[in-house]
């Protein structure tokens, strides 16, 4: 578990933790980068949209092993849960913008969805919970 | 993250390095837009070869630089894309929106 505040200065620290964690779990380099990018973008969204750029709000991150049956085989993975206490998020706003529009912004959700096998947003009591899961390709897992 | 600016005749060159994320992309955006509007050189080059990481807000800063340049009739050119920069531009489907060159020599000669 990692507890931090909503100050963007912590983004690099989290990237510095997620990248080697992904590598240790057996993800190939490219997926390590995409998982790290997804977590970074998710945290940025919390800072910007959930907390309105306030720097002192709590964020909790949980990392644990995930497992699923896929094509008749058990597949191991990494589950990352990000929790914040901002206002409830309208799920309709979690779609991202069309990529054929050339304008700044709105790309973070695409990066998250591209990287992860599961992207689930739920609200539990006063907490927004974003669950991200990525599974390791067969044969690569060291879990 | 470091950002420095060079001038080579009628070309402005930005050298970006390190990690560009939400903590510092506003600085990239402000520096690039200010320099574009003040120098008004016909070509603006951005060196991304030393960028270890760039997020969506960094990409947004580059898009703003492109738009500001186009509005002023200038060319906005990227070169030396690092692995991270190339990946996010491909994911964003922006590789064909920007002028992209392999290295500074090619960008200067373009």
Please name every residue paired with B44 in a beta bridge, in sequence order, or none if there are none.
B12, B76
DSSP states of A36-99:
HHHHHHHHHHIIIIISTT-SS-EEEEEEEEEEEEETTEEEEEEEEEEEE-SSPP-GGG-S---T
Centre a 10 Å sphere on the Cβ of residue A116 and count the other Cβ atoms it contains.
24
Rounded Cα distance between A42 and A112, Å, is 7
pLDDT in tens, B11-58: 999 999 999 999 999 999 999 999 999 999 999 999 999 999 999 999
What's the pLDDT score for residue A137? 85
Q: Which of B23, B63, B87 sits opposite A102 (nearest CB)?
A: B63
CB contact under 8 A, B55 and A41: yes
CB contact under 8 A, B22 and A110: no
Contact B69, B37 (CB under 8 A): no
Distance from CA of B92 to the nearest CA of A (A): 6
* Residue B104 contacts A where some CB pair is shorter than 8 Å: no
Tell which residue, A28, A29, A40, A15, has the closest CA to residue A136: A28
Residue A8 has pLDDT above 90, yes or no: yes
Burial of residue A82 (CB within 10 Å: 0-12, 13-18, 19+) is buried
What's the pLDDT score for residue A97? 67
Which pTM does this prediction carry?
0.92
All residues of chain B having their beta carbon less than 8 Å from the beta carbon of residue A106 are 56
Count of alpha carbons within 13 Å of B46, Cβ hemisphere only? Answer: 32
pLDDT band at A43 (very low <50, low <70, confident <90, very high): very high
Residue A84 has pLDDT above 80, yes or no: yes
Computed over every residue of chain A, the mean pLDDT equals 91
Rounded Cα distance between A5 and A126, Å, is 17
Classified as helix, coil or strand, A115 is helix
Q: Span A84-108, mean pLDDT?
A: 76
Take residue B34 and report the two structure tokens written for it.
């200010």
Q: Span A48-54, mean pLDDT?
A: 95
What's the pLDDT score for residue A70? 85
Q: What is the ipTM of this complex?
A: 0.92
What percentage of chain B has pLDDT greater than the value 90?
Answer: 98
Give contacts of A 52-111 with B, CB under 8 A. 99-100, 102-108, 110-111
Classified as helix, coil or strand, B61 is helix
């Amino acid at each position: 578990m990692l507890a931090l505040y909503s100050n963007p200065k912590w983004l690099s620290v989290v990237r510095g933790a997620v990248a080697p964690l992904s590598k240790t779990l057996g993800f190939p380099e490219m997926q390590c980068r995409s998982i790290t990018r997804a977590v970074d973008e998710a945290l940025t969204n919390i800072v910007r949209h959930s907390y309105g750029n306030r720097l002192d709000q709590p964020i909790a991150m949980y990392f644990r092993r995930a497992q699923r049956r896929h094509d008749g085989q058990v597949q191991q993975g990494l589950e990352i849960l990000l929790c914040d206490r901002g206002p409830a998020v309208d799920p309709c706003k979690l779609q991202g913008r069309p990529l054929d529009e050339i304008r700044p912004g709105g790309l973070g959700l695409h990066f998250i969805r591209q990287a992860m096998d599961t992207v689930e947003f739920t609200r539990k009591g006063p907490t927004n919970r974003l669950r991200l899961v990525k599974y390791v390709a067969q044969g690569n897992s060291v879990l | 993250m470091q950002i420095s600016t060079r001038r080579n005749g009628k070309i402005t060159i930005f050298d970006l390095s390190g990690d560009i994320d939400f903590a510092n992309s506003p600085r990239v955006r402000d520096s690039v837009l200010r320099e574009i509007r003040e120098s008004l050189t016909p070509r603006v080059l951005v060196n991304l070869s030393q960028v270890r990481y760039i997020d969506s807000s960094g990409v947004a800063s580059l898009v703003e630089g492109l738009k500001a340049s186009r509005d002023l009739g200038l060319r906005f050119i990227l070169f030396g894309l690092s692995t991270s920069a190339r990946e996010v531009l491909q994911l964003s489907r922006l590789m064909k929106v920007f002028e992209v060159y392999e290295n500074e020599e090619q960008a200067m000669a373009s």
